[in-house]
């Protein structure tokens, strides 16, 4: 290994350490921090962010990357991939001043605390001024980069490298009418009974059962843990410390099971990355859409499948005998897959979920371009919910305040959720061709072959390949919604007898 490569790895390793330390503080902010600690935590995160940014964008790093790109030109190796990814990160980061990074940490930390209060009181006005500051910083961030085909391209590229707004809109425009048509067909037939899903459940029993499920999937609790937070998320501090959070909703108690599966899907991806990539830019998932494909696969393609229900239902019935009295595995399967336009994105069924994402994309673009005024956001949100799903939120908590993302400045992230659904179906078709009898394995509670396939074809590579190249390598094609449409059509045609 060259001396210059060693020097670069040492600096990038230190940057990784600082960023992971900041991530620990961010995790703690959502899990343990007392309400009064928010301002100080924001300053702490700002300091760490500024130090990491200064170190990552130093002239020394830039010079090393320039020299190493020449040295490793045309080389196909992990080190060459690391240099390519590090150079891309550097080229983006060097455009953003350290002072901006610190300011963003302070603003978003305060915005998160305001969002928690506003959501708790269902009062958007408590969050409005904070969101306006966040949007101001989003505009400033976009200004640091060369003009793109669309200003939203700059934001999207942070989560889905190389993807363009026009590409996403084209995919969504082709998908939307097919999903709307399917929803109309489903709404015209008899709906399954679901009342047993919404009875009173003991929170601890539901929580414990969620850990039973994700442990059996393959989430390694010796390298992870599950804690409570206002909004479920996964965070990684190293390949050997990958944590998830979850929540319990009394009005939708079993949602805890599915959010646990979802976050465990993210976490198993991070736990499966090549350990040799530790403390380098390769040691993370390649993109948000690919990451989301893992969480949605375990939550939906596995967790809401009939084989899954046939395996776990006897245990569910034993854990919740009064709630499941007179209920069969097939009835449970139909109930958890009922198509019913709903207010909350994270609880939406598969047939309607992407419409929630399309709504958010339109609002983000509107806020970015100035066509949507922040003060009008609740009203516009409610109008779009009526247009898209035929329902309107009764209050801000069930509407515009339901997601944590905007308080954290995560603009450009939402589209990747729907793209993740699409990629999950592409991967699923390939997996079922290569793993014979996968349904029967799931029916027996065996998930090791599935996890092994994902480890081999997706997880282990981290960021070594670009997202579209990784998907092409794993499935034989780039992101394409055809497999997702086939999956939805078959699944719901079977459930509803269409």
Q: Give residue 291's pLDDT.
A: 97
d(CA 175, CA 428): 18
pLDDT by residue (tens digit) across 341-396? 999 998 889 999 999 999 999 999 999 999 999 999 999 999 999 988 889 999 99
> What's the topology of domain 165-496?
1.10.1370
Q: Is 227 helix (H, G, I), strand (E, B) or coil?
A: strand
For tokens 């958010």, what's the residue? 360
Give the sign of the dihedral formed by CA 124, CA 125, CA 130, CA 131: positive
DSSP-derived secondary structure for 144-173 = TS---SSTHHHHHHHHSTT--HHHHHHHHH
Helix (H) or strand (E) holding 295: helix 288-296
Q: What is the mean pLDDT of the chain?
A: 95
DSSP-derived secondary structure for 184-197 = HHHHTSPPPP-GGG
Query: What is the average pLDDT across 138-160?
Result: 96
238: β partners: 241
Count of beta carbons in the 10 Å neighbourhood of residue 434:
10
Per-residue confidence band for 1, with pLDDT thresholds at 50, 70 and 90: low
pLDDT by residue (tens digit) across 220-238? 999 999 999 988 999 999 9
Q: Give residue 148's pLDDT.
A: 95
Q: Give residue 450's pLDDT.
A: 98
Q: Please report, for the chain, the start and end positions of each structural domain, with discontinuous segments joined by +.
A: 3-130, 165-496
d(CA 225, CA 18): 21
For tokens 């690919």, what's the residue? 290
d(CA 164, CA 184): 30
254: β partners: none
Does residue 96 carry a pLDDT above 70?
A: yes
Catalytic residue among 263, 270, 292, 350: 263
pLDDT by residue (tens digit) across 299-350? 999 999 999 999 999 999 999 999 999 999 999 999 999 998 999 998 889 9
Model-level pTM?
Answer: 0.90
Query: What is the average pLDDT across 97-117?
Result: 92
Count of beta carbons in the 10 Å neighbourhood of residue 204:
9
d(CA 187, CA 39): 48
Integer-rounded Cα Rg, in Å, for the chain is 22
Confirm if 484 and 98 have CB atoms less than 8 A apart: no
Count of beta carbons in the 10 Å neighbourhood of residue 136:
11
Confirm if 187 and 339 have CB atoms less than 8 A apart: yes
Query: What is the average pLDDT across 282-294?
Result: 97
263 tagged catalytic = yes
Percentage of the residues of the chain whose pLDDT score is greater than 70: 100
DSSP-derived secondary structure for 73-104 = TT--SHHHHHHHHHHHHHHHHTTS-HHHHHHH
């Amino acid at each position: 290994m060259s001396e210059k490569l060693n020097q670069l790895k040492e600096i990038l390793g230190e940057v990784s350490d600082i960023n992971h330390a900041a991530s620990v503080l961010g995790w703690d902010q959502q899990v343990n921090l007392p309400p009064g600690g928010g301002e100080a935590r924001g300053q702490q995160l700002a300091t760490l962010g500024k130090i990491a940014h200064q170190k990552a964008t130093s002239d020394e790093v830039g010079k090393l990357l320039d020299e190493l790109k020449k040295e490793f030109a045309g080389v196909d190796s992990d080190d060459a991939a690391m240099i390519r990814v590090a150079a891309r990160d550097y080229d983006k980061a060097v455009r953003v001043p350290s002072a901006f990074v610190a300011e963003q940490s302070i603003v978003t930390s305060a915005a998160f605390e305001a969002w928690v209060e506003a959501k708790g009181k269902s009062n958007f006005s408590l969050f409005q001024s904070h969101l306006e500051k966040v949007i101001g910083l989003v505009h400033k961030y976009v200004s640091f980069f060369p003009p793109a085909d669309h200003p939203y391209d700059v934001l999207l590229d942070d989560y889905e490298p190389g993807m363009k707004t026009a590409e996403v809109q084209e995919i969504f425009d082709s998908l939307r009418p097919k999903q709307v048509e399917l929803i109309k067909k489903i709404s015209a037939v008899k709906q399954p009974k679901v009342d047993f899903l919404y009875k009173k459940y003991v929170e601890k029993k539901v929580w414990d059962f969620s850990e039973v499920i994700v442990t059996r999937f393959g989430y390694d609790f010796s390298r992870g843990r599950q804690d409570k937070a206002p909004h479920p998320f996964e965070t990684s501090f190293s390949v050997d410390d990958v944590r998830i959070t979850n929540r319990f909703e009394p009005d939708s108690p079993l949602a805890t099971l599915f959010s646990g599966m979802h976050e465990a899907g993210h976490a198993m991806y991070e736990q499966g990355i090549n350990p040799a990539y530790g403390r380098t830019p390769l040691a993370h998932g390649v993109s948000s859409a690919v990451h989301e494909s893992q969480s949605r696969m375990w939550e939906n393609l596995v967790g809401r499948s009939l084989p899954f229900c046939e395996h776990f239902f006897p245990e569910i019935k034993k854990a919740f005998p009064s709630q499941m009295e007179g209920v069969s595995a097939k009835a449970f399967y139909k109930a958890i897959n009922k198509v019913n336009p709903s207010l909350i994105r994270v609880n939406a069924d598969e047939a309607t979920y992407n419409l929630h994402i399309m709504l958010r994309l339109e609002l983000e673009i509107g806020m970015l371009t100035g066509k949507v005024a922040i003060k009008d956001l609740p009203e516009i949100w409610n109008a779009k919910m009526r247009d898209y799903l035929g329902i309107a939120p009764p209050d801000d908590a069930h509407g515009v305040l339901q997601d944590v993302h905007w308080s954290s400045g995560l603009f450009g992230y939402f589209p990747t959720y729907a793209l993740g659904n699409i990629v999950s179906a592409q991967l699923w078709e390939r997996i079922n061709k290569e793993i014979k009898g996968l349904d029967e394995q799931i029916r027996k509670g065996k998930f090791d072959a599935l996890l092994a396939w994902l480890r081999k074809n997706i997880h282990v590579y981290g960021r070594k390949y670009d997202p579209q190249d990784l998907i092409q390598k794993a499935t034989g094609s780039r992101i394409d919604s055809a497999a997702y449409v086939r999956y939805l059509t078959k699944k719901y045609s079977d459930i509803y007898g269409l």
